[in-house]
């Protein structure tokens, strides 16, 4: 870390902070979240950790602030966290997700977009190369992918030419937008 301290993700002791003077402190979000499999620094130098059931945890001084504990991929085993573009990517048992700090924090499931749903990580690691590609060692093999802003947004731009509800055509207005899974509509 910039102050000379060292952070380590551990199995059972939380995130261990070792000060430049040599003292250690175990950082834990709760008594239930003591295992962290991965730790990474984003481009601003903020440390992030993850583990099974922990959610995505920001190391904030001498404490952990965690979010999205009940969302995939945190609902099962979580293997790796890696900074990518302006997001933090999390690889877990139920796929790949992107965490964004904007708007109070947002988690976007990337499992379907990347074809990595229901994979298992084999080496508990993910990294980026000099060209900005993301590398993951998974049960589907060594995977190299490059994601752009659209991939990370969770939005799917679609041209809607007509909408029907219960067989009746609905009026179209410019810039019609719908949330995901509006299954009562027919297009």
- Percentage of the chain with pLDDT > 90? 12
Rounded Cα gap, residues 80 and 60, in angstroms: 19
pLDDT tens-digit readout, 161-174: 777 878 888 887 77
Tokens of 36: 């962290």
CA dihedral 42, 153, 89, 117 (to 10 degrees): 180
pLDDT tens-digit readout, 37-90: 889 998 888 999 988 778 888 998 888 988 877 776 666 677 788 888 888 888
pLDDT tens-digit readout, 70-79: 776 666 677 7
What's residue 17's pLDDT?
A: 93
CATH number for the domain whose boundaries are 6-152? 2.130.10.10
pLDDT tens-digit readout, 110-122: 877 777 776 666 6
Rounded Cα gap, residues 142 and 74, in angstroms: 22
pTM exceeding the 0.85 threshold for the entire prediction: no
Residue 127: band (very low, low, confident or very high) from pLDDT cuts 50, 70, 90 = confident
State yes or no: pLDDT of 177 exceeds 70: no
What's residue 23's pLDDT?
A: 94
Residue 151: band (very low, low, confident or very high) from pLDDT cuts 50, 70, 90 = low
Instruction: Mark 41-79 as b/e (b = at least 16 C-beta within 10 Å).
Output: ebeeeebbbbbbbbbbbbbeeeebebbbbebbbbeebbb
Q: Where are the domains of the chain?
A: 6-152
Choice between 108 and 131, residue whose per-residue pLDDT is larger: 131
Rounded Cα gap, residues 5 and 17, in angstroms: 7
pLDDT averaged over every residue in the chain: 79
Rounded Cα gap, residues 162 and 63, in angstroms: 51
Residue 153: band (very low, low, confident or very high) from pLDDT cuts 50, 70, 90 = low
What's residue 20's pLDDT?
A: 94
State yes or no: pLDDT of 178 exceeds 70: no
State yes or no: pLDDT of 147 exceeds 90: no
Query: What is the helix, strand, coil percentage profile of the chain, to 5?
Result: 5, 45, 50
């Amino acid at each position: 870390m910039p102050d000379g301290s060292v952070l380590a993700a551990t199995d059972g002791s939380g995130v261990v902070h070792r000060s430049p003077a040599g003292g250690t402190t175990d950082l834990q979000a709760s008594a239930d979240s003591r295992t962290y499999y991965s730790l990474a620094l984003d481009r601003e130098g903020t440390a992030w950790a993850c583990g099974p059931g922990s959610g995505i945890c920001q190391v904030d001084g001498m404490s952990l602030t965690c979010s999205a504990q009940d969302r995939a991929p945190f609902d099962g085993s979580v293997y790796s966290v890696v900074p990518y573009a302006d997001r933090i990517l999390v690889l877990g048992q139920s796929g790949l997700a992107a965490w964004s700090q904007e708007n109070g924090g947002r988690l976007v499931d990337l499992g379907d977009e990347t074809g990595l749903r229901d994979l298992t990580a084999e080496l508990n690691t993910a990294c980026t190369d000099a060209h900005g590609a993301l590398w993951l060692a998974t049960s589907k093999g060594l995977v190299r992918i490059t994601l752009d802003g659209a991939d990370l947004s969770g939005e799917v731009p679609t041209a809607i030419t007509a909408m029907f509800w219960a067989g009746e055509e609905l009026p179209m207005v410019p810039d019609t937008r719908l949330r995901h899974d509006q299954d009562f509509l027919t297009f």
